[in-house]
A and B are shown apart, each in its own frame.
Chain A
C-alpha cells in the first residue's frame, strides 16, 4: 500500500521506465497516444547493443572487413582523413563544399521561389500561369534531372548549384503560396481599416503571416537538397562528401564509405537542429494565430 503513494523519480519517467502518478490512474491505455513516452531507456539499450555487436563483429571477423568495417577501422580512417585529407582535399573541404552547395542552392531557390509563391498567392492570372509548371516539376525527383543538367551545364560547380536550385525553388514557391493563402481575412480587413495601403498590407500583414510556412519550406528544402547534393556528387564531382564515398567505394575502402555515411547523417541531423532552433527564435508566434 505504501509503495503506491511514492511519486516516481523524474529520471525514471524520462527513461520510460515508470509512469507519472497521473498516468498510473488511467484505465484506458492501449490507443492513448500520450501514454507512449520517449522510452529512452530502450533507445539507450538499442544503441548499446548495436555498439557491442559492431565491436564484436570487428574483433571476431564475422564478415569480410571489405563488406563491413570494424568501429576501430572507421575511427582510424577518420583520424587519417582528418589529418591527411583525401584526394587533394581536406575533410573540412569535402564537407564544406557539400554544405556550401546546399546553402547556395537553397538561397537562390528562396530568392526566386518566395516572390513567385507570393505572386501566385495574390493573383489569379499568375497562379494560373505558373501552376502547371510548378505542380508538374515539384514531384520530379531531382536525381532524375541530373542527366539533363549535366548535359546542359556540364559537371562543374554551376551545374550542381543549378540542380539544387531547381530542387529548392519549387518547394519554396509552394510554401510561400501556402503562407500567403493562410492569412485570415479578418486580419487583412483590420489592416485596411486601420489605414494600411496595399503595399503595407503585403509587407506588414501578409509577409509576417507567411513566415512560418516559408520557414517550414526552407527546412524541407534544406533536407531534400542535402540528400540531392550527395547524389549529384556521386555522379560528377571531384570534391565533396558524396564524391568521397563514391571514390572510396570504387577502391573498396569501406571504412571510408561508412565514415562518410556517418558524417552525412550527422550533418543532415545538425542542419535540422539548427533550422529548428532558428525557427523558435525568429518566429515565436508560429501556430498561435
Chain B
C-alpha cells in the first residue's frame, strides 16, 4: 500500500536584497498505490525541486508531506530515486550496484543473489552481472539504475528525467521497459520529464506545471499507458487522439513561455 500525500508544499529561496525565488507555491496532491504519474513542465517550473522534496533531499519552506501517514524528513529506501545520470557507482560491478541497498542493510547473501539475478533478467541484462558499469551503454546503465532501485522493493519510485540522456531509439525502448516494470510490479511511480510525448505515453496521470511561481496548472487522466502495454507504441504515438493531446499541451507550454517572455 502506498499513499503519498503532498499538502500545501511551498519552496521559497530567499535572495539577498529582498526578492526571493518562489520555486514552488502551494502544491497539493495525493498519489496512491500503483499509479504512474508523470510531471511535465518547462525549465524552471519546479518539477525537479518537487521531486527532491519528495525524495527527502530538500525540506520545503512551507507545507508537509507524508508517505503512508509517516512524515517525510529525509531520504529513505521506501522512496527511491532514479537519476538522469544514473548515479551508478563506477567502482562496483553491475551486480554489486544492484545489490547495494540490500548489502548496506546486511541482507543475507543468498537471498540478495537471487534478487539480483531475477532483476537482471527483468531488465534484460542477464550475463552482464560481473561487468563494470562504465563498460555499458547509456541505456544499459539506466537499466542497472532501475534494477538497483527495484532491489529494495520501494513503495514509491521517483524518476528524475531518467531517459533524458538517451538517444531516441533507446529512449523509446526504455519507455516500454518502464511500462512493463510498472505492470509486472504494480509499483507507484512518479516520473518527471520535459518531453511531452514521453509524459503522455507513460502517464496514466499527468500534471502540467508552470513556472514563477512553480505550481500545477492542469491535470490529465490518460489512456495511453494502459494501451501501451498491449498495442504497438508507434501506433499509439501516431494516433490522432495522442497527437491532439500533444498539441494541446505543447500550446499550453508555449503560451506559458510567451507569458514569461512578455513579463520580461
Q: With contacts A194-B148, A195-B101, A195-B105 known, is A205 near B89, CB below 8 A?
A: yes
Q: With contacts A194-B80, A194-B101, A285-B132 known, is A189 near B90, CB below 8 A?
A: no
Cβ–Cβ < 8 Å partners of A192 in chain B: 74-75
Least distance between A188 CB and chain B CB atoms (Å):
9
Q: With contacts A189-B81, A288-B134 known, is A194 near B89, CB below 8 A?
A: no
The residue of chain B having its C-beta at the shortest distance from the C-beta of A212 within the complex is B91
Q: Does B55 contact A (CB under 8 A)?
A: yes
Least distance between B79 CB and chain A CB atoms (Å):
7
Q: Does A196 contact B (CB under 8 A)?
A: yes
B85→A194 contact, CB < 8 A: no
Chain A residues numbered 53-99 whose CB sits less than 8 Å from any CB in chain B? none
The residue of chain B having its C-beta at the shortest distance from the C-beta of A186 within the complex is B87
Q: Max chain A CB contacts within 10 Å: which of B80, B83, B87, B148?
A: B87
In Å, the complex CA distance between A205 and B83 comes to: 16
Least distance between B2 CB and chain A CB atoms (Å):
16
Q: Does B128 contact A (CB under 8 A)?
A: no
Q: Does A29 contact B (CB under 8 A)?
A: no
Cβ–Cβ < 8 Å partners of A200 in chain B: 104
The residue of chain A having its C-beta at the shortest distance from the C-beta of B80 within the complex is A193
Chain B residues numbered 5-62 whose CB sits less than 8 Å from any CB in chain A? 55-57
Q: Does A139 contact B (CB under 8 A)?
A: no
In the complex, which range does the number of interface residues on chain B fall in?
A: 20 to 34
Contact of B89 among A197, A208, A284 (CB under 8 A): A208
Chain A residues numbered 210-246 whose CB sits less than 8 Å from any CB in chain B? 211
Contact of B81 among A193, A209, A288 (CB under 8 A): A193
Q: Does A190 contact B (CB under 8 A)?
A: yes
Q: Does B166 contact A (CB under 8 A)?
A: no
In the complex, which range does the number of interface residues on chain A fall in?
A: 20 to 34
The residue of chain B having its C-beta at the shortest distance from the C-beta of A283 within the complex is B91
Q: Does A204 contact B (CB under 8 A)?
A: yes
A195→B81 contact, CB < 8 A: no
Least distance between A204 CB and chain B CB atoms (Å):
7
A189→B87 contact, CB < 8 A: yes
Cβ–Cβ < 8 Å partners of B92 in chain A: 208
Contact of B75 among A189, A208, A285 (CB under 8 A): A189
The residue of chain B having its C-beta at the shortest distance from the C-beta of A211 within the complex is B91
Least distance between A60 CB and chain B CB atoms (Å):
59
In Å, the complex CA distance between A263 and B104 comes to: 49
Binary interface encoding of chain A residues 160-197 relative to chain B, with 1 for a CB under 8 A from any of its CBs, else 0:
00000000000000000000000010110111111111
In Å, the complex CA distance between A209 and B148 comes to: 19
Contact of A186 among B77, B85, B101, B132 (CB under 8 A): B85
In Å, the complex CA distance between A246 and B105 comes to: 60
In Å, the complex CA distance between A196 and B105 comes to: 7
Cβ–Cβ < 8 Å partners of B79 in chain A: 193
B91→A194 contact, CB < 8 A: no
Q: Does B182 contact A (CB under 8 A)?
A: no
Chain B residues numbered 122-157 whose CB sits less than 8 Å from any CB in chain A? 132, 134, 148, 152
In Å, the complex CA distance between A192 and B101 comes to: 9
Least distance between A287 CB and chain B CB atoms (Å):
9
Cβ–Cβ < 8 Å partners of B80 in chain A: 193-194
Cβ–Cβ < 8 Å partners of B85 in chain A: 184, 186
Q: Does A289 contact B (CB under 8 A)?
A: yes
Q: Max chain B CB contacts within 10 Å: which of A184, A193, A194, A288?
A: A193
B90→A193 contact, CB < 8 A: no
Cβ–Cβ < 8 Å partners of A191 in chain B: 100, 104
In Å, the complex CA distance between A193 and B154 comes to: 10
Cβ–Cβ < 8 Å partners of B164 in chain A: none
Least distance between B43 CB and chain A CB atoms (Å):
18
18 more CB-based (< 8 A) A-B contacts, given A184-B85, A189-B83, A190-B87: A187-B87, A189-B55, A189-B75, A189-B81, A193-B55, A193-B77, A193-B80, A194-B77, A194-B152, A195-B101, A197-B104, A204-B104, A208-B91, A208-B92, A284-B132, A285-B91, A288-B134, A289-B134
